[in-house]
Structure 1
Amino acid sequence: MNQDPATAAPPPPPPARRPGGRSARVREAVHRAATELIAERGHGAFSVADVAARAEVADSSVYRRWGTLEALLMDVVVSRLTAHSPVPDTGSLSGDLRAFAAKAAQDVTGPDGLALLRTVVTALAAGPDGMSARDRFLAVRSAQVDGMLERARARGEDTPDVLDVLDGVLAPLYLRVLFGVVPLAPDYTDALVDRLLAHPAER
């Protein structure tokens, strides 16, 4: 006997998916594997196959998602140097920039910070993937800085431009790490911020 569709029990709901799912787990595994290889061997000394083997995923999964090794490495660099740097909100621009500079210094002087920076420099000569990563990196950093500056302007504070902050705070940190002038002590990062904010007429 056929059941009346009007009285039929509704179909069971689809199984709940865990946040992120397999795609997020693959990305995390591949990023971790690439970061380890960057630190161990340096840029240009490993392949997509090496990354895939360490991440325990198929080569095709890496190529399908990133296309090239350079695109993958730049995704790793941008993620590692920006994604874990939430915009501070201390109540003043000076406090925000000091906290921001301290976190940036911590990130770039970590175990793989130098290797990541060298990867960026090398990749800039590698064509469109490198240039695209540079633009993405600068866009993320600029958005983080602009968030602090907007809040400061809303409080009535005098603010520098986004580029002034990148030039005056982040660029010296990265340059020092690339040339081995470390560690980046808190008094150094604080001095960068103080110098930036102390000379509004020079901006």
Structure 2
Amino acid sequence: MAIKESVRPGGRSARVQESIHQAVRALLEEQDRASLTVPQIAARAGVTPSTIYRRWGDLAALLADVAFARMRPEAEPANTGSLRGDLQAWAEQYLDEISSEPGRQMMRDVQCRATTGYCTTILGGQLQSILDRYPDETQPGVEHLLDLIVAPTVFRVLFSDKALSVEALHRQIDLALASA
């Protein structure tokens, strides 16, 4: 079951969603995720389990939605005054966030989402906001940045015994800018 994206913002639906998200976050701080259940979340949020099943379908989809909510940026990417500097600051922060254990778990949860493309939409939007600051510079496209910066970063975080180093991350940024 796909998560309903067209729910109107604000109102009861938004309050219910936020209380359920808060319940998930609180319970994950208190207990192991393997022991987490929909009835526990519903009780903590003050809703019935059917409310959760109706909106998300299952626990994996709910956990993915909570993970996606954490991914939404709260502020514009840092403005260092240069395209390279902005990309480095953004990429270092992204690497730091997803290399942490909560970040790794968020990446695993995101894989459970039924709809695809949401991560690239969020990350692509952040990268586009950086590119928009430098309209007079030769720029790589957003897809190019996703392929050369984000993809190797995610791959190393999820499938390697150690994350991409900051030096290797900077080399990927240099490669992306040089091949623009």
Is this a same-fold pair by TM over 0.5?
A: yes
Three-state SS of the structure 2 residue aligned to 1:83 is coil
C-alpha RMSD of matched pairs (Å): 2.9
Residue type at the aligned position of 2:38 = V
Residue of 108, 121, 126 corresponding to 1:144: 126
Equivalent residue runs for 1:20-169 within 5 Å: 23=16, 26-33=19-26, 35-36=28-29, 40-41=32-33, 46-53=36-43, 55-58=44-47, 59-63=49-53, 66-84=56-74, 86-121=76-111, 123=112, 130-132=113-115, 134-153=116-135, 156-169=136-149
- Distance in 1, Cα, partners of 2:18 & 2:72: 20
Following superposition, the deviation at residue 103 of structure 1 comes to 0.9
C-alpha change, 1:76 and 1:147, in structure 2 (3 Å) is same
C-alpha change, 1:85 and 1:99, in structure 2 (3 Å) is farther
Task: Provide TM-score, normalisation by structure 1.
Answer: 0.67
Task: Provide TM-score, normalisation by structure 2.
Answer: 0.75
What 5-or-longer segments of structure 2 have no aligned partner? Answer: 1-13
> Would you say the 8 A contact 1:169–1:192 is kept in 2?
yes
Residue of 169, 172, 178 corresponding to 2:158: 178
Number of residue pairs the alignment of both structures matches? 166
Residue type at the aligned position of 2:60 = E
> Would you say the 8 A contact 1:81–1:107 is kept in 2?
no
What 5-or-longer segments of structure 1 have no aligned partner? Answer: 1-20, 124-129
> Would you say the 8 A contact 1:88–1:100 is kept in 2?
yes
Following superposition, the deviation at residue 88 of structure 1 comes to 2.1
Identity of aligned residues (%): 31
- Give CA-to-partner distance per residue, 1:126-183, whole Å, 9 cap, x none: xxxx232x32222111111111112222xx1111011111111111111111123324
